[in-house]
Structure 1
Amino acid sequence: MFRSVAGAIERVLDVVLLVMIAVMAVSICWQVFGRYVLNDAPGWTEETARFLMAWITMLGSALVMRRNGHVAVTFVADLLPPGPRAVIAWIRDTLILVMAGSLVFYGYKFAVIGGRRDSAALEIPMFWPYLAIPVGGALIAILLALHRADGLRTGTPS
């Protein structure tokens, strides 16, 4: 069950990230075209690309967490027997959850405070671009917890 929920979240993230990357690419191409061909670069394109980059980074971090793709130096842990290796994995996951919780808590506060002003070109509340921080943190925590819960259920350590 945990694996299927995490898989569903992963599939949704795949689609959302694909759309965001495509929109960002089109936005950047339009920026270049406007600047060098039309001699008048539209201001919204740069801001759109920048905001999408923040969302792509945070959502992508959660997706990479699910796929165990973050860079890790494991040569010391790999030398340990399974018991101590599992303890290190639990400590690592606990620290990740603490950091993800911090992203959610402080990121939301930051988004609310930042939401008091609008962006320069798109004129949207800055709450929406800043919301990437707590959403990404929440997804990291959820996907890590689902991975751990599935490992406990199946008896396969992380």
Structure 2
Amino acid sequence: MLHVALHILRTIERVLLAGLMLAMSLGYVINVIARNAVPVLAPRLAWIEEATLIALAWVVFLGLGLALERGRHITMSAFLGRIRGPAKAWIVGAINLVGLLFSLYIAKIGVDISVFVYNSGQVSPTLNLSVIWLYGAIPVGFALLALRYALELAGCSRRFDAARATPA
């Protein structure tokens, strides 16, 4: 059951990330063409820059968990490669625990920031959206990262094995 839930989560993350990156690319292309080919349209498309900024924040923070799961975060591979047996398992466990605690802490700070900006009523200048759409990426991304660290600690995922198996 857990593996099915993780597969669904991975699929949702990948679809969201791919969709956001595609939308960002398309938005930038339209914006550049409009500025150069039809300058009179450029002011009407000012919202594209703001929308792509928000999308970029979501891409960065949503991608944290997937990058960890695939072994793409910075690791101490030279150090860990020299250690064998129980010592390596203990060090990897300590790394995962510190990562989990750090991710939960940053997610909590992200929630605090998001609540603060939501309560302030701050809105984006061109889209007139609550800036929680920007700041909300922080707690969501770090909560997903914390989930990945927790799965590592529980033995449901092995990113160090994934890093060796997956070409860069």
| Structure-2-length-normalised TM-score | 0.84
Which residue of 122, 125, 139 corresponds with 1:134?
A: 139
Partners of 1:149 and 1:79 in 2: how far apart? 24
2:113 to 97, 110, 113: 110
CA distance in 2, matches of 1:4, 1:67: 18
SS in structure 2 of the partner of residue 79 of structure 1: coil
**Mean Cα displacement is larger for which, 142-151 or 38-47?**
142-151
Query: Deviation of residue 151 (structure 1)?
Result: 4.1
Bigger mean CA deviation after superposition, 63-72 or 42-51: 63-72
Bigger shift: residues 143-152 or 64-73: 143-152
**Percent pairwise identity:** 24
Following superposition, the deviation at residue 28 of structure 1 comes to 0.8
Secondary structure of 2:76 counterpart: coil
In structure 2, do the counterparts of structure 1 residues 133 and 102 end up closer, same or farther at CA, with 3 Å as the change threshold?
Answer: same
Match runs of 1:9-28 below 5 Å: 9-28=9-28
The question of whether the paired residues in 2 share the 8 Å contact of 1:3 and 1:147 is answered with: no
Structure 2: tracts of 5 or more residues without a match? 163-168
C-alpha contact (below 8 Å) 1:3/1:146 kept by paired residues: no
Name the structure 1 match of 2:32.
32
Residue 64 of structure 2 is matched in structure 1 by 61
Q: CA offsets per residue over residues 75-108 of structure 1, 9 Å max, x none?
A: 1221112211111111111111112112210001
Shift, 1:144, TM fit: 2.4
Q: Deviations over 1:99-147 (max 9, x none)?
A: 2112210001111222220000100000111100000011111122224
Deviation at 1:148, TM superposition (A): 3.1
TM-score (norm 1): 0.89
Cα distance in 2 for partners of 1:65, 1:10 equals: 12
2:83 is the counterpart of 1:80 = yes
Structure 1 distance, partners of 2:107, 2:63, is: 16
- Structure 1 stretch 75-84 or stretch 43-52: which is displaced more? 75-84
SS at match of 1:119: coil
CA distance in 2, matches of 1:112, 1:30: 34
